Structure 1
Amino acid sequence: MTASTLRQRAGTAGFLLPALLVVTVFYAVPNLLNFALAFTDWSSYSDTVRFTGLANFRELLHEGALVNDLRVTVVYAVVVMVAQNLAGLVLAFALERSCRTHGFFRAVFFLPVLISPLAAGYVFKALLADDGPLNRALGVQVSWLGSTTWTIVVVALVNAWKFMGVNMLVYIAGLNAIPRELLEAARAEGASRWQVIRSVQLPLLAPAITFNFVTTLIGAFNTFDIVFAMTGGGPGDSTQVLNSFIQQQYAQGYYGYSISMALLLLLLVCAVAFPVLATLRRREVDL
């Protein structure tokens, strides 16, 4: 190995070292500590931290709230994934062509992404209140945030509204990457607009669909801000997602217990996201 090659590699390592240190100190080490502390009784009520093995996880399995929170989290994630991607896809097809008008509306629909999730949650909480502007404008008395059945869907739709701009831009990028010759050939063969979308554009959008579905699903599983701002987990526990329960336990001083539930949430995300990713990737190959 020549001296110049050694100097080049040393220079590359020198550039990488600060980034590696940041990742190690602020990401790798805290996550490793989290995994370890999930198997302890760490809390604000004791000066010592003892290894308890699987005790936290056994308690979680016997915790009545856990089953409800798991169900609520899965329902929330599925509604967000479907609604956010459907809205983003419709907007992408509507604003696909590059022009000044479409550029303006793309910016308008992307604007909610820049709003703080907490701020968006509090705004919609005021809008959807029983005596709020929406009910007064409609002339009805609907308890949008008071139903133990449908409030979780309402909150999920707010989440989808806030982040659909990201999905829209990904789909637009995918549409613009499709060769124009394919679309022109399909139209020359007499294909209608719907036939072009169904038979040409949607199949070629498969990579963008895979990316959007998986990232949206992971983001929905990790939600907290919007639910906290709009309902705080209520009415009852009908909108209490797993992150809400983790925050409650941590705020009460049960640190090891809350960390074990965060680890359980990580396993849940992996158990759902990886099969979805594998299924969508196989679909790409089949297409």
Structure 2
Amino acid sequence: MSTIERTRAPRAPAGPAARTRRRAGTVNRRTYPAWFLLPAFAILLVFFFLPTLFNFIYAFTDWSGFKAAINPVGLDNFTELASNGSLFRALRITLLYAVLVAIFQNVFGFGLAVLLERDTLLNRIARVFLLIPVLMSALAVGYIFQALLKPEGSLNQLIGGVLGHPFDYAWLGDTTWTIVVVSVIHGWKWMGLSMLIYLAGLKTIPDDVIEAARIDGASRWYAFWRVRAPLLAPAVTFNVATALLGSMNGFDIVQATTGGGPARTTEILNIFIFRTFGQGLFAQATTMSLMLFLLVALLAFPVIYLLRKREEIL
């Protein structure tokens, strides 16, 4: 027997706790929870990754509903869309729509979060009711507002009753302000989600910070805007990014309210893609879908980067 073997201390018998830990470790090693992710990955593969891949393929072909053969055409689809100005007009309207939705959704959500911050029974009931539009179908919301905003709709009748004379303004027929009205509708639908995020941010601010500001002589208004509001930077980042990127992929509310009118002033890119695909021009529609994908991707990274830098500064 070697010296090392003689001097090695005998191992103590394993107790019940040690045996239980070993059994738990064995069970953990023998279970494979990652397998449960396979259905989700399969759905993503079929309904997201493969269509995205085919977007990059069919955008460079002459695929259409008027012939069976599909031939490569290079960059002809891109040059054709760029030459007639339709693509850039739709992109400009989409960007304007996204910015307006982000403004309205965050202003509404932030204001509601401040008003309903106190945990009273009335505030809790109001929060629940304000979340109902988030759960509703966007198409249903669009059709409801289309009925309300007609010249003979309920809103004009209400305003006429207040003014004492008939009021028949075409809320969805003005080529200047209809994009703003539709953006307000979109922001109204999702303001409940923004309200929840801002409420969560307000609840996480320590009371000690507010008390220190009060002791230093800060008024309630000054303490809110100079102390509490900067601490909401992560909530602002999430809400602005989701509102911008989500509204750029918008379709249903605009389709239900205006269908892209009047005079195509609300024809965002997804409405344009829908019409082009309905005309049988599948390759052109796929090209525009690819442009929208690239636009969202190119906009997402700078927006999130700038908002993160803002968080660090604040």
TM over 0.5: yes
Deviates more, 1:60-69 or 1:273-282: 60-69
Q: CA deviation at 1:12?
A: 4.6
Aligned match for 1:54, one of 75, 82, 87: 75
Q: Which has the larger radius of gyration?
A: 2
- Cα pair distance change 1:129/1:187, threshold 3 Å: same
- 1:62 is paired with a residue whose SS is helix
Aligned match for 2:275, one of 233, 248, 262: 248
- 1:205 is paired with a residue whose SS is helix
Residue matched to 1:200: 227
Q: Does 1:33 align with 2:51?
A: no
- 1:106 is paired with a residue whose SS is helix
AA matched with 1:65: S
Residue matched to 1:83: 104
Q: Does 1:152 align with 2:179?
A: yes
Aligned counterparts of 1:111 and 1:14: Cα–Cα separation in 2: 35
Residue matched to 1:107: 128
- 2:32 is paired with a residue whose SS is helix
Residue matched to 1:163: 190
Q: CA deviation at 1:242?
A: 0.5
- Cα pair distance change 1:17/1:143, threshold 3 Å: closer
Deviates more, 1:93-102 or 1:238-247: 93-102
Aligned match for 1:65, one of 86, 91, 97: 86
Q: CA deviation at 1:16?
A: 3.8
Residue matched to 1:177: 204
Q: CA deviation at 1:93?
A: 0.9
Q: Does 1:261 align with 2:288?
A: yes
Aligned counterparts of 2:43 and 2:152: Cα–Cα separation in 1: 49
Aligned match for 2:299, one of 262, 272, 286: 272
Residue matched to 2:13: none
Identity of aligned residues (%): 49
Aligned counterparts of 1:26 and 1:9: Cα–Cα separation in 2: 32
Q: Does 1:74 align with 2:101?
A: no
Kindly tell me the number of residue pairs found equivalent between the two proteins: 284
Aligned counterparts of 2:272 and 2:217: Cα–Cα separation in 1: 56
Is contact 2:150–2:171 with CA below 8 Å preserved after alignment?
Answer: yes
Q: Higher RCO, 1 or 2 (CA under 8 Å, sep at least 6)?
A: 1
Q: CA deviation at 1:109?
A: 1.4
Is contact 2:87–2:288 with CA below 8 Å preserved after alignment?
Answer: no
- Cα pair distance change 1:18/1:272, threshold 3 Å: closer
- Cα pair distance change 1:49/1:214, threshold 3 Å: same
Q: TM-score, normalised by structure 2?
A: 0.86
Q: CA deviation at 1:247?
A: 0.2
Aligned match for 2:254, one of 195, 202, 227: 227
Deviates more, 1:201-210 or 1:7-16: 7-16
Q: Any stretches of 5+ residues in structure 2 without a counterpart? A: 1-24, 161-166
Aligned counterparts of 2:239 and 2:286: Cα–Cα separation in 1: 28
AA matched with 2:218: A
Q: TM-score, normalised by structure 1?
A: 0.93
What whole-Å deviation, never above 9, does each CA across 1:2-60 have from its counterpart, x for those lacking one? xx88x938825534444333332332222212221111111111101111111111111
- Cα pair distance change 1:23/1:8, threshold 3 Å: farther
Aligned counterparts of 1:231 and 1:202: Cα–Cα separation in 2: 37
Deviates more, 1:24-33 or 1:36-45: 24-33
AA matched with 1:55: D
Task: State the Cα RMSD in Å.
Answer: 1.8
What whole-Å deviation, never above 9, does each CA across 1:174-230 have from its counterpart, x for those lacking one? 111111211222223232221121111111110110010000001111111111111
AA matched with 1:21: A
Aligned counterparts of 1:75 and 1:118: Cα–Cα separation in 2: 21
AA matched with 1:149: T
What whole-Å deviation, never above 9, does each CA across 1:217-266 have from its counterpart, x for those lacking one? 01111111111111111111111111000000111111111011011011
Aligned counterparts of 2:275 and 2:261: Cα–Cα separation in 1: 13
